Amino acid sequence: EKKREAPAAGSPIQPVIKDVGEIYSRLLDHRPVIQGEIRYFVKEFEEKRGLRELRVLENLKNTVFETNEHVLPKCEQAMRDNLNETFKR
């Protein structure tokens, strides 16, 4: 039974092992790239969604303003006119 021993720190194989590890991480380990892409996607999604929601709120504000300033007074006047006519009958 032979025991495997780790290469000594001064062994000439250490730089090769280090280089193989770096090559592996650059060629086969895509986690850093994928994580960067995920962060970019989330950032873009949140910014575009935020702008879309801002436009929706702006449109809603304009609709409420238009209703308060123009539609509501017309409705109140039509209601008064019709009620007055009804009361006369």
The predicted-structure confidence for 13-63, as pLDDT tens digits, reads as follows: 888 888 888 888 778 878 888 898 999 998 888 888 878 888 888 999 999
* Domain shared by 45 and 16, yes or no: yes
Residue 7 lies in a domain: no
Query: Domain range for residue 17?
Result: 12-49
43 near 37, Cβ under 8 Å?
Answer: no
- Displacement of CA 18 from its chain's centroid (Å): 39
* Domain shared by 23 and 42, yes or no: yes
Contacts with 88 (C-beta within 8 Å, 6 or more apart), sequence order: none
- Counting the structural domains of the chain, the total is 2
* Domain shared by 67 and 83, yes or no: yes
Q: Does the global pTM surpass 0.95?
A: no
Dist. CA 68–CA 62, nearest whole Å:
10
* Domain shared by 84 and 60, yes or no: yes
* Domain shared by 57 and 83, yes or no: yes
pLDDT band at 6 (very low <50, low <70, confident <90, very high): low
* Domain shared by 63 and 42, yes or no: no
